[in-house]
Amino acid sequence: MAAGFDKDCKVLGSVLSLGFGFVTGGTVTLASRPGNPKPRVIRLIDKKAVMNSMGFPGQGLEPAVKRLSKSHKHKRRVLVSISGTIEDEIFECLRQTQSLVSGLELNISSPNTAGLRIFHEPARLRGLIEGLAAEKTVPLFVKLPPWPRDEDTRRELLKLADTAVDAGVDGLVIANTHPIESSCLKVGRGGLSGAPLFEHTELMIADVQARVQGQASIIACGGVSTAEHVWKLLATGASAVQLYTSFIYEGPGLPARINKRLVKLMSAAGISSVEDISGPPPPVK
């Protein structure tokens, strides 16, 4: 489960029991935040997509830490997403949460939160990650913004991937929601998630894999709803896969159905580990 579903780390164990291999709580920020004004979540039912302009609503770091402390038995399958608009906020989130989880996801890419774009400047991002890497005791992932297919913007955002890896991250999450403008959202803009994103996600995973060449793990996120989607992303270079919006449309049984179908595909391909997945998924009824 991707970040954003359980913002205050209230139901991580329950989410895991549905069949997820791991769950990312948060995004957690140092202080509590109200988020952006409503309406801030709009379903696009015909597209199986969602527009949101949430803006990190949450109770803040202290309540999240208390809940994470109580769910210690799930620690090895829990990551937490952290963020802030200045470095000190992010450092404090890392210091207080890292002993309670198995990994940290640094969110510098939410299109719904003012102030994050400052970390899209490579020098600023490098300084932040180098500082976090010097203090981290668990793997650190950075969630990047998506990039369009036009070369100028694509090249600029791929530099962020290079910078993050060079500065010491263990992995990259590809990618956050896609920026969208809409008068249906009170603030007029937000992020698009769901089915329309999958093909773009696959292309971005290929882009990043070609750049990092195994120097960092890649977590794929965006438009995933089937075992075939999971197969394609793993075959393209992802180490793990997250979902969120499809869970809203397909219901709580989705992760278990994906797992069951994935095992069937692997059996048809004659493999027993997801690490051996390659090429297109086999044709299985």
The 10s digit of each residue's pLDDT in 114-123 is: 788 899 999 9
Q: Which pLDDT score is estimated for 214?
A: 87
pLDDT for 206: 95
Among this protein's residues, is 110 annotated catalytic?
yes
pLDDT of residue 114: 77
Choose, from 53, 110, 193, 246, the residue flagged as catalytic: 110
Domain 12-254, what architecture?
Alpha-Beta Barrel (3.20)
User: In the predicted model, what is the mean pLDDT of the chain?
Assistant: 96
- For residue 131, is pLDDT > 90? yes
pTM of the model: 0.95
Q: Where are the domains of the chain?
A: 12-254
* pLDDT one-digit tens code per residue, 166-225: 999 999 999 999 999 999 999 999 999 999 999 999 999 999 999 998 899 999 999 999
- 141 neighbors 170 (Cβ within 8 angstroms): yes
pLDDT tier at 9 (50, 70, 90 boundaries)?
very high
| Cα 49 from Cα 224, distance rounded (Å) | 11
The pLDDT tens digits of the residues spanning 56-69 come to 999 999 999 999 99
* pLDDT at 25 exceeding the cut of 80: yes
**pLDDT score for 148:** 85
pLDDT level of residue 149 (50, 70, 90 thresholds): confident
Give residue 224's pLDDT: 98
Q: Would residue 52 be called left, alpha or beta, if left means φ above 0 and alpha means ψ between -120 and 50 degrees?
A: beta
Question: pLDDT at position 230, please?
Answer: 98
Which has the closest alpha carbon to 23: 33, 41, 9, 44? 9
Tell me the one-letter amino acid at 50. V
